[in-house]
């Protein structure tokens, strides 16, 4: 609404001037200071609007609506309000300054609630272009004390829920008669040497190895596909990544499905069963996203 009003400011000003000529009290009109305040409020709220639209997306490529974006998004907004509070000081714009501080206080309150679950921080680490350096680089000042505890929480979550929980399956090998040695047995040592099939020495666990590796210079275009490809070498870590990164940041998509279903189930279709409704919604989603030619 603010964006629309600012865009139509010349027409609204003309309308107000005509109303003043008739019977409108000039004190009830929108002054230049009022327009300046509206522009300021619009600029302050614009980052909130943009990030809300981003996080209510479908996260089709594991971004624009993925859970790993929640923590950085809230930090971005907190930084935005802190910087704005220094610009619109109590002396320069008292009412704006108070509004910013109230918003900052409430946002920090919600930000603190993210600590109740390690999933938000863990999902950030599972972006191979970010990893744990997000905490080292961005958590400064009073937040610096959180770095070690957050890393420990993420690691404890990994150990408790996923470490060594996924084992890659092996293809069954047909039984060989033990009556006489086969040619494969005769050359077993050579095969081990040639293909390096001898037992590998113990290595660091998957999560430690992942964190010690250098971060990618750029995030993969599709994180789900990236971790699917990593399942061969790090099956347990890949399973954790696939489980967490597939969580949407918001429930907006679910609400879209409910709204669409409400349109489908009309008075003339009140006997549709759940399997038909489910199939219809799936097909509608697939067509809308171009899965069918």
Whole-number pLDDT of residue 172? 45
Whole-number pLDDT of residue 176? 44
Residue 20 — pLDDT band, cuts 50, 70, 90?
confident
Residue 228 — pLDDT band, cuts 50, 70, 90?
very high
Residue 177 has pLDDT above 60, yes or no: no
- Report the mean per-residue pLDDT for the chain: 86
139-176: pLDDT as tens digits: 988 888 899 999 999 999 999 999 988 766 544 444 44
3-state secondary structure of 237: helix
Most confident of 26-35, 140-149, 187-196, 227-236: 227-236
CB 37 within 8 A of CB 5: no
| Pick from 125-129, 154-158, 255-259, 270-274: least confident | 255-259
Residue 268 — pLDDT band, cuts 50, 70, 90?
confident
Query: What is the percent of the chain where pLDDT is above 70?
Result: 87
Q: Compute CA distances 231 → 145, 212, 238, 273, whole Å.
A: 34, 18, 5, 39
Radius of gyration of the chain (CA): 29
Q: Compute CA distances 272 → 57, 258, 284, whole Å.
A: 29, 15, 16
Whole-number pLDDT of residue 62? 84
Buried residues in 176-191 as b, exposed as e (16+ CB within 10 A): eeeeeeeeeeeeeeee
- Enumerate the domain spans of the chain: 31-163+182-250, 252-288
Residue 31 has pLDDT above 90, yes or no: no
* pLDDT (average), residues 110-136: 95
> 10 exposed, middle or buried (CB, 10 Å; 0-12, 13-18, 19+)?
exposed
* pLDDT (average), residues 54-70: 87
Query: What is the percent of the chain where pLDDT is above 90?
Result: 53
Whole-number pLDDT of residue 251? 81
Q: What is the pTM of this model?
A: 0.77
Whole-number pLDDT of residue 237? 96
Residue 188 — pLDDT band, cuts 50, 70, 90?
low
């Amino acid at each position: 609404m603010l964006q629309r009003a600012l865009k139509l400011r010349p027409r609204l000003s003309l309308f107000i001037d005509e109303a003043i000529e008739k019977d409108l009290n000039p004190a009830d009109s929108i002054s230049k200071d009022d327009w300046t305040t509206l522009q300021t409020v619009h600029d302050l709220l614009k980052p909130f609007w943009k990030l809300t639209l981003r996080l209510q997306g479908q996260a089709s490529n594991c971004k624009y609506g993925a859970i790993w974006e929640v923590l950085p998004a809230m930090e971005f907004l907190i930084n935005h309000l802190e910087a704005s509070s220094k610009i619109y000081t109590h002396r320069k714009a008292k009412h704006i300054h108070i509004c910013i501080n109230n918003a900052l206080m409430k946002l920090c309150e919600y930000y603190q609630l993210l600590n109740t679950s390690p999933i938000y921080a863990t999902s950030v680490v599972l972006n191979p272009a970010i990893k744990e350096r997000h905490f080292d680089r961005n958590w400064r000042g009073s937040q610096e004390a959180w770095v070690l505890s957050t890393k420990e929480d993420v690691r404890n979550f990994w150990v408790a829920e996923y470490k060594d929980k996924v084992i890659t399956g092996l293809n069954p090998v047909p039984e060989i008669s033990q009556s006489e040695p086969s040619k494969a047995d005769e050359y077993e040592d050579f095969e081990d040497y040639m293909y390096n099939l001898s037992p590998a020495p113990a290595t660091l666990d998957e999560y430690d190895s992942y964190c010690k590796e250098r971060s990618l210079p750029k995030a993969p275009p599709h994180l789900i596909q990236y971790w699917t490809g990593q399942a061969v070498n790090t099956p347990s870590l890949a399973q954790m990544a696939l489980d967490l990164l597939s969580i949407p940041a918001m429930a907006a998509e679910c609400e879209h499905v409910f709204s669409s279903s409400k349109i489908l189930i009309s008075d003339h279709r009140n006997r549709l069963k759940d399997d038909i409704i489910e199939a219809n919604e799936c097909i509608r989603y697939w067509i809308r996203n171009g899965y069918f030619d």
